[in-house]
Amino acid sequence: MPDSLMIKTPGLTWLLGLAAVVVILAGLKSAEAIVIPIMLALFIGIICTPPLHFLTRHKVTPVLAILIIVTFLVVFGSLLGMVVTAAIDSFINRLPDYQQRLEAEMIGLLPALENLGVPVSSKQLLTHFNPSQVMDWVAKTLTNLGSLLTNLFLIIFIVIFLLLEEATFSLKLRQALPNAEKSLRNANQFVTQVNKYLVIKSTISLATGCLIALWVSLLGLDFPLLWGLIAMLMNFIPNVGSILAAIPAVLLAIIQLGFPQAGLVASGYLVVNLVMGNVVEPRFMGKGLGLSPLVVFLSLILWGWLFGAAGMFLSIPLTMIAKIALEQSASTQWVAVMLGNGVAESLAEELLIKEPQVKEPQSALVKVVLEKK
C-alpha cells in the first residue's frame, strides 16, 4: 500500500471516530426492542451483584443465592407491575375529565390576570398553555412506562443468566488470558465504582419515591404510588428530573385539590429533592462522581431520543458508567474530566490511595473450582 494512503491526521481520526459513533447509535436505535430489556437487565444485574456476593460469602450456594434474589425480584416486580399498571389505566381512562377540569381552572385565572394588568382572552391562554397537550404528554410517558413493565419476565430471565455468568466469569478470564490478574484488577475497580454508584443512587431514589408517595397521600392526591414511582425513576436524572416528576402531580393537584394544595404538593417535591440531592446523596456518594449540567441535559436528550422513557431513566446511569470506564485508563481520563463537573478527582487515584490492593470479590463457585485445582 502506498505511503500516501497510510497518512493519518488527527482530524481524520476524529472524523472516523464520530462516524463510528453515529453508526453505533443508529444500530442501537434500530434494535430498540432488544436493547432496552438487555440494558435494564444489566442495570438490575449490577445492583444484584453485592447481595449475591453477600450470600455466597455466608456459605449459601451460588444457585440458591441466585434463586433467592430472583424470587425477590419476581415477587416485588409482579406486585409493582400490578399496582402501577392499574394506576396507569385508571389515570388514562380519567384523562378527558382531567383535561376539561384543567381548562376550567386555567380560564378561572383570567380575572386575576386582568387585575394584574395582563388582559388575556381564554383562547390566547389555552393556545399558549394547552392542557390537552400537557396531559397527552403525561399519558404517553405513562404508557411507555407500562410497556416496560410488560417485559418484566424477559428482563428477569436475562438477569438470571447474567448472575450465573458472573459466578464463573473471573475463572474463565483466567483460563482465556495468560496474564489475567491486571485485567481482573482493572475490571474489579470498574465494577466496584459502578456498584457503588448504582446501589447508592437506587437506594436514595427509592427513599425519595417513598417520601413523595407518603406526602401526596397525606394531602389526598389520587394515585400516590404512581407519583412515588415516577419520582423514584426521575431521581436518576439530576437537576431536571425532580422538575419533570413534579409536573404531572402538580397539575393533578390543581385539578383535584385546587391551587393552595397544589402549592403544598410542589413544596413537598422541592423539600424532598433538596434534602436528598444536596444533603443525603453527597454524604454517601461523595463528590467524585459528578457530571456537568450540560452533559446531564445532553445525555437526557440523546438517550431519550434513542429509547424513549427507558432512555430518559437510564440516561445518567449509562453516562456515569461510561465516565467511570473512561477514568480507568490514563489515555481517556481527559474525556472523563470533560464530562465531570469540574471538581471531580480521578477515581483511579482515589482507589490507589484508599484501596492500594483491590481484592477481587470471588463467588463461592469460583473458590470451589480454584481449590480443586
Answer whether residue 320 is part of any domain.
no
Give, as one character, the DSSP assignment of residue 177: S
Distance CA 99, CA 288 (A): 44
Is the pTM for the entire model greater than 0.85?
Answer: no
Question: Range with the lowest mean pLDDT among 140-149, 160-169, 202-211?
Answer: 140-149
By percentage, how much of the chain surpasses pLDDT 70?
69
- Cβ 305 vs Cβ 289: under 8 Å: no
Residue 241 has pLDDT above 50, yes or no: yes
Answer whether residue 21 is part of any domain.
no
For residue 213, what pLDDT is reported?
93
Answer whether residue 172 is part of any domain.
yes
SS3 264: helix
Q: Would you state the cell numbers that stand for residue 318, as one nine-digit string?
A: 449509562
What is the number of residues in the chain? 373
Q: Which residue has the cell 385546587?
A: 258
Give the model's confidence band at 349: pLDDT under 50 very low, under 70 low, under 90 confident, else very high. Answer: very low
CB 237: neighbour CB atoms within 10 A?
A: 24
CB 181: neighbour CB atoms within 10 A?
A: 11
Residue in 126, 121, 81 with CA at minimum distance from that of residue 99:
126
Answer whether residue 46 is part of any domain.
yes
Q: Which ranges of 31-61 does DSSP label H, i.e. alpha helix?
A: 32-57
Residue in 292, 306, 313 with CA at minimum distance from that of residue 239:
292
What is the mean predicted confidence (pLDDT) over 165-176? 69
Count of domains for the chain: 1
pLDDT (tens digit per residue) in 51-73: 888 888 888 888 888 889 889 88
Give the model's confidence band at 133: pLDDT under 50 very low, under 70 low, under 90 confident, else very high. Answer: low
**Mean pLDDT computed over every residue of the chain:** 75
Owning domain of residue 154? 33-176
Distance CA 110, CA 7 (A): 69
Contacts of 239 (CB under 8 A, 6+ apart): 293, 296, 297
SS3 94: coil
For residue 352, what pLDDT is reported?
37
- Cβ 373 vs Cβ 367: under 8 Å: no
Answer whether residue 127 is part of any domain.
yes
Give the model's confidence band at 362: pLDDT under 50 very low, under 70 low, under 90 confident, else very high. Answer: very low
Q: Tell me, what amino acid is at 242? A: S
Distance CA 10, CA 247 (A): 46
Distance CA 222, CA 251 (A): 12
Answer whether residue 91 is part of any domain.
yes
Answer whether residue 112 is part of any domain.
yes
Answer whether residue 331 is part of any domain.
no
343 or 181, which is more confident? Answer: 181
